[in-house]
Amino acid sequence: MSIEIIGSLVVLALLDSTSIGTLFVPIVLMLVPGRLRGAPILGYLFAILGFYLVLGVLILLGAGALFDRFGEVLRSTPAYWVQLALAIGLFLFSFRFDPKRRAAKGKSPTANWTERVQAATESSGKLVALAFTAGLLEIATMFPYLGAIALVAGAGLPVAADTAILAGYCLVMILPALLLLLVRITLADRVTPMLTKANNWFEKHAVGATGWILAIIAFLLARDAVFQLGLFDQWLTN
């Protein structure tokens, strides 16, 4: 696996770390009134890690079967041109996620999550169920993760190596929330204003952030296609 692909995977994992399930919900959990309990939040984070990992391995196995049968075609020059075209299309599609237009329609992706989180704090089991719910609801918008799976599948590594890479990806994905939890435990209520600002930012900019994520994924897919096609090499030699 090349350094370029590893770098892309890290960027995609960090993008995934800013989703509702991986960051917004943990922040809301840290802001719940009363004594902070770190263990349930850790349970939530590792539950969503497990959900993503199992889902990723299942998709990867399906993609592996596809590559075994059509690998030469999918790694061909026409296929990389198709990837480049899809990347351009995805970039154009990202402009549809205009926060001002969504706000005018009264749509807010975080509107119901605070109530769900507060209801789930009653038990660790409910938090695990909340993690699975968040994962299921985000399947349709797992653009960074799906892009990462495509990159891993295209590397042609053994299943064990692919699984280890996805596990590392998922760990990076929850790392910002883990670091915030550590800071919250260490500094207690002194970080509440910062967490409140982050929560408010999420509520205001979640839709716009989705557009930015799509644009960044489009760039990464385009860069991979350009690299595989050797377009920069052709440009430099001319």
Convert the pLDDT of each residue in 168-187 to its tens digit: 999 999 999 999 999 998 98
Mean pLDDT throughout 111-134? 78
Q: What confidence tier does 238 reach under pLDDT thresholds 50, 70, 90? A: low
pLDDT of residue 175: 95
pLDDT of residue 98: 64
CB count in 10 Å sphere of residue 78: 9
Q: What is the dihedral of CA 150, 151, 154, 159, to 10 degrees?
A: -80
Asked if residue 105 has pLDDT above 70, the reply is no
Closest-CA residue to 221 (of 5, 13, 59, 71): 5
pLDDT of residue 46: 93
pLDDT of residue 47: 93
Lowest mean pLDDT among 21-25, 62-66, 219-223, 226-230: 62-66
Asked if residue 237 has pLDDT above 70, the reply is no
For 64-85, write each residue's pLDDT tens digit: 677 677 767 777 888 889 989 9
pLDDT of residue 53: 94
Q: What confidence tier does 110 reach under pLDDT thresholds 50, 70, 90? A: low
Q: Are 99 and 223 in contact (CB under 8 A)?
A: no
CB count in 10 Å sphere of residue 124: 17
Which helix (H) or strand (E) is 127 found in, with range? helix 124-137
Q: Are 202 and 24 in contact (CB under 8 A)?
A: yes
Structural domain boundaries in the chain: 3-75+108-205
pLDDT of residue 168: 95
Closest-CA residue to 115 (of 197, 35, 28, 37): 28
pLDDT of residue 104: 55
Q: What confidence tier does 206 reach under pLDDT thresholds 50, 70, 90? A: low
Q: What confidence tier does 230 reach under pLDDT thresholds 50, 70, 90? A: confident
For 6-19, write each residue's pLDDT tens digit: 888 999 999 889 88
What value does the mean pLDDT of the chain take?
82
Mean pLDDT throughout 125-146? 82
Percent of the chain at pLDDT > 90 equals 21
Q: What is the dihedral of CA 36, 40, 43, 44, to 10 degrees?
A: -80
Asked if residue 20 has pLDDT above 80, the reply is yes
